[in-house]
Structure 1
Amino acid sequence: MKIHPLITTSDELAALCERLARSDFVAVDTEFMRENTYWPELCLVQIANTEEAAAIDPLADGLDMAPLHDLLTDNEDVLKVFHAGGQDVEIIYNRTGRTPHPIFDTQIAMMAVSQSEQIGYSNLVESWLGMTVDKGARFTDWSRRPLTDRQIEYAIGDVTHLSKIFPKLLKRLMKTGRGEWLDQEMEKLADPENYRNDPTQAWRRVKASGRNAMTLGRLKAIAQWRELEAQDKNIPRGRIARDETIADIANHPPKKQADLAKVRGLSQGWKDNEIGKRLMATIENASPLPDDEMPTRAPRGAPLGKEGALVADLLKLLLKIRAREIDAASRLLARSEELELLAAGVRKDLPVLQGWRYDVFGKDALDLVEGKLAFAVENGKLKMTHVDDVKNDD
């Protein structure tokens, strides 16, 4: 495989993208920094097909990234392969307003051919290629220039390895016939709605107890205010105020600005500075959360009770057994919160009761809840037994 020097000019990048546009797939990875900023700073893009690989420097003066953006987001003939690509896709969306498509994530794909829940990149490479990844540059500051040869070699290795693993993984998927399992997961990964930053919805990420409309309305207003403050200053939202701090303020709103000095997580300066004044104005202007925005269930899940909790535990045991039987990750089949809802009597809009998930696991999960399925031990192994089958044997 041909490895190019670091690409820093528009002509080099345009020529590379023109060649890669004729590929069936490209492996893609990014290096970025986000510890001190609200928006992640893209520092390096690595890309490869089966014949060539390159690292692209988006911080290079005058570099026109449009050919790369077009390749990743507009070219439907080239499959874009990532590993644990959520943050990579987010960065591309932030820069272009579009997401890569079509897309394939090897971490998600591994869940369909093994019991690996979230296999790391190093383990993926060792499993498929028998190689140990050099982690020496893992915690480097990718925003510093110039980059060393070792840094560039480390970064490009991520996509050269991925370009070799993907065809092997695809072949195994085809043998198992589970490729269609992943269609929905990959479309979800590429859905722009997952990356659209809507400050009015920021409150939903904050853990808060209770369903009081006024409290949740304040939380929505404060969370939106925090997002806009952080965006304006381009600093992480936690630098403005932590989640637990804004949840506490929503629950116990201060009556006057001077009271902000008593809030845990805020400095004394908030009692008379401008940001404290803006926060107080936000609190005072907050309205109760409208009925159509109220959570449909308590944040910690449906109320199960003791018996329901036992049923949920049995469903989780059933999930482990089925995942072991078919050698797939249990998380791909169902999430714990879904099983708790199922145990609580919820049937509507649960992914586990739809499509291939219903056929592979959901039907048996329903049977267990309805008393049609039991557990048995056979040859020292726990297995599922349908009650009707046992009666017929008798």
Structure 2
Amino acid sequence: MHIHPLITDSAMLADLCARLAKSDFITVDTEFMRESTYWPELCLIQVGDEKEAAAIDPMASGLDMQPLLDLLVDNEDVLKVFHAGGQDLEIIHNLTGKTPHPLFDTQVAAMALGMGEQIGYSNLVESMLGVQLDKGARFTDWARRPLDARQIDYAIGDVTHLAKLFPKMLNRLRKTGRGDWIDGEMERLADPATYANDPEIAWTKIRINSKKPEVLGRLKAIAAWREREAQGKDLPRGRLAKDETLADIASHPPKTQAELAKVRGLPASWAGNDIGGRLMNAIANAKPLPDSEMPAKDDKRPGLGKEAALVADLLKLLLKIRARDANVASKLLARSDDLELLAAGRRQGIALLEGWRYDVFGKDALALVEGRTGFSVKDGRLVMSELAAEETNDDA
């Protein structure tokens, strides 16, 4: 494989992208800094295929990144391969308003191949390629210039190994017939809505116990206020105010700006400065959350009674058994929220009761909640056993 020197020239980048556009797939990775900012700062982007790879310096003066961005988000003929690409995709979305498509994430593929829920890149490379990666440059300052040779070699290694991993994983998926298992996850990753930082829905990511419309309305208003302040100041949202502080303010709103000095988690100076004033305006102008936006009672937790909660626990046990038997990450089969919905009596709109998930796990989960199967121990292993008709009719 040919490894290019660090690309800082527009003509060289355009030539590279023209060649990569003819490939069946390209591998992509980024290096960025975001510890002290709202928006991640792109410091390096690496791309390659089976023949060549390069690191590109987006901080280089005068570099025209458009050919690369066009390749990533507008070329539907080239598959883009990432590993745990969520933050890489967020950066690309921030730059273009689009996401790469089609795409393949090797961490998601590893879930279908029974390699764990969130296998790290170095562990995956060592497992499948027998190569131990140098992790020394992992937490380097990628914004510092000039980058040294070790940093660039480390960065390019991420896409060169990925170019070898992808065909191997694709072959395993084909042999096991599990390619379809990850299609939905890949489409979710490629959905631009996943990365939209919309202030109006920021409140939905904050945990709060109250379900009162007036409380949730305040939470929506102040979460949107925080999002806009963080975006405008380019500061991490948690540096302005933590989620639990917003939840406390929504539940127990201060009546005057002076009372902000007593709110745990807020600077005392907010009791008299402009940012505190804008927060108070957001509180004052908040309206009760309309019925159309109220979370359904079973969106998060269905309010399980004691018996249904026990059934949910049994479903989680069954999930572990079926994930073990199928050699697949349990997270890919079903999520806890869906198990609770099933235990509470829901049958529609649950992913585990559709498609391949139904065949691998859903049909057994349904049989368990309907009393047609139970647990038993065989040769020291916990297994599912079909209950005899007379057992299921005991209460008739």
Number of the residue aligned with 1:89: 89
Contact kept, 8 Å, 2:210 with 2:251, in 1: the verdict is: no
1:21 aligns with 2:21: yes
The aligned residue for residue 173 of structure 1 is 173
Structure 1: 4+ residue segments shifted above 3 A: 388-391
C-alpha distance in 2 between matches for 1:81 and 1:299: 33
Question: Is the 1:377–1:383 Cα contact (8 Å) retained in structure 2?
Answer: yes
Match of 1:51 in 2: 51
1:1-394 to structure 2, matched below 5 A, reads 1-297=1-297, 301-388=301-388
1:292-314: CA deviations, max 9, x gaps?
10011277612112211211111
The TM-score with structure 1 as length reference comes to 0.97
- C-alpha displacement of 1:389: 8.6
Provide the aligned C-alpha RMSD in A.
1.3
C-alpha contact 1:31 1:43 (8 A) present in aligned 2? yes
Q: For the Cα contact (< 8 Å) 2:326–2:360, is it kept in 1?
A: no
**Cα-to-partner distance string for 1:27-69 (whole Å, 9 max, x where unaligned):** 1000011111111111100111111110000000111111111
Instruction: Mark the runs of 5 or more structure 1 residues left unpaired by the alignment.
Output: none
Whole-Å separation in 2 of the counterparts to 1:274 and 1:335: 43
Instruction: Output the CA distance in 2 between the equivalents of 1:53 and 1:40.
Output: 24
Deviation at 1:348, TM superposition (A): 2.3
Letter in 1 for 2:43: C
CA contact (8 A) 1:115 1:324 kept: no
> What amino acid does structure 2 have at the position aligned with 1:49?
D
Q: Deviations over 1:105-158 (max 9, x none)?
A: 000001111151110111101101111111101111111110000000000111
Distance in 1 between residues matched to 2:55 and 2:121, nearest whole Å: 18
* Cα offsets for 1:306-355 (capped at 9, x unmatched): 21121111101111111111111111000112111111112221111111
Overall identity of the aligned pairs, in %:
67
Q: Distance in 2 between matches of 1:83 and 1:325?
A: 26
Equivalents in 2 of 1:166, 1:252: separation in Å? 52
In 2, Cα distance between equivalents of 1:263 and 1:105? 43
Q: Matches of 1:361 and 1:390 in 2, distance apart?
A: 25
Once residues 267 and 47 of structure 1 are traced to their aligned partners in structure 2, the CA distance between those partners, rounded to angstroms, is: 44
| Residue identity matched to 2:267 | S
- Contact 1:115–1:323 (CA under 8 A) maintained in structure 2: no
Measure how far apart 1:390 and its partner are.
Answer: 9.9
Mapped partners of 2:141, 2:340: distance in 1: 43
CA distance in 1, matches of 2:299, 2:273: 34
Task: Give the secondary-structure state (helix, strand or coil) at the position aligned to 2:43.
Answer: strand
Mapped to 1, the partners of 2:40 and 2:346 lie a distance apart of 39
**Alpha-carbon contact 1:93-1:192 (below 8 Å) kept:** yes
Instruction: Output one character per residue of 1:266-291: Cα deviation in whole Å (capped at 9) or x when no partner.
Output: 11111110111111111111100000
TM-score by length of 2: 0.97
Asked whether the equivalents of residues 115 and 330 of structure 1 are also in contact (C-alpha less than 8 Å), the reply is no
